[in-house]
Chain A
Amino acid sequence: NFMLTQPHSVSESPGKTVTISCTRSSGIIASNYVQWYQQRPGSAPTTVIFEDNQRPSGVPDRFSGSIDSSSNSASLTISGLKTEDEADYYCHSYDYNDQGVFGGGTKLTVL
């Protein structure tokens, strides 16, 4: 099976743009959809991006997802950062057997 590697933490100021990466260790990143989940402290996760770049209803368009085949990675970009965006973010994909794989999570600090 493959692994998804994320930075442990990132920080940025309100109003700025931040990008969180998620690198697949083996296999092709584009071969299976990538999702991104937000988890605020003490709360259940919520989906901010599914199927690489789709936003669920209610998620603002400040959140966007992309795939980069050259680096075999996915990225979550949050623009116009707000303090409410401070949370843990997890990337997720699955293999040919539909076995799920999560990244280790990235703590986003907005300061």
Chain B
Amino acid sequence: EMLLLESGGGPAQPGGSLRLSCAASGFTFSSEAMTWVRQAPGKGLQWVSSISGSGYSTFYADSVKGRFTISRDNSKNTLYLQMNSLRADDTAIYYCAKRIVIDHWGQGALVTVSS
């Protein structure tokens, strides 16, 4: 069974940092691109970032470019999102997802940025 399990969410102060992790199982992790998508409270889905299977290529939404870093450890079947210089409008549920043409989703991790 394919599983994506996010962790690392929680409260953070404006200007602070958090690192999300996504543990993957049930498929050949290193062969698949991965994506982070977020959803602010009461709002729609927003693409955040994607990374190729090798980790060589990364892509970011303009709203997070320069502040967030996507990475992966294929030896651990784990995807990461390092979030720095957090702002209130980064408050959202962050979903880990498989592929750029998403075919599987995690359950999400809530990030709350507030002073």
Whether B100 and A37, one on each chain, are in contact in the complex, defined by CB atoms closer than 8 angstroms, is: no
Determine if B102 and A44 form an interchain contact, defined as CB atoms under 8 angstroms apart.
Answer: no
> From residue A13, how far is it (CB to closest CB) to chain B in Å?
26
A100 touches B35 (CB 8 A): yes
Q: 1/0 contact trace for B28-54 toward A, CB 8 Å? A: 000001010100000011110010000
20 additional A-B pairs beyond A102-B44, A105-B44, beta carbons within 8 Å, are A35-B101, A35-B103, A39-B45, A44-B105, A45-B37, A46-B105, A47-B104, A50-B101, A50-B102, A50-B103, A92-B102, A98-B33, A98-B50, A98-B57, A98-B100, A99-B60, A100-B47, A100-B100, A101-B47, A102-B46
Chain B residues near A (Cβ < 8 Å): 33, 35, 37, 44-47, 50, 57, 59-61, 95, 99-108
| 27 residue pairs bridging A and B, Cβ less than 8 Å apart | A35-B101, A35-B103, A44-B105, A44-B106, A44-B107, A45-B95, A47-B102, A50-B102, A50-B103, A51-B101, A56-B103, A88-B44, A92-B45, A94-B47, A98-B50, A98-B57, A98-B59, A99-B59, A99-B60, A100-B37, A101-B47, A102-B37, A102-B44, A102-B45, A102-B46, A102-B47, A105-B45
Chain B neighbourhood of A46, CB < 8 A: 105
Q: Is the CB of B45 within 8 A of A45?
A: yes
- A interface residues, Cβ below 8 angstroms from B: 33, 35, 37, 39, 44-47, 50-51, 56, 88, 90, 92, 94, 97-105
Minimum C-beta distance from B110 to chain A (A)? 12
From residue B62, how far is it (CB to closest CB) to chain A in Å?
Answer: 9
Q: Is the CB of A47 within 8 A of B100?
A: no
Q: Do B44 and A45 have beta carbons less than 8 Å apart?
A: no
Contacts of B104 in A (CB 8 A): 47, 56
Min CB distance, B58 to chain A, in Å? 10
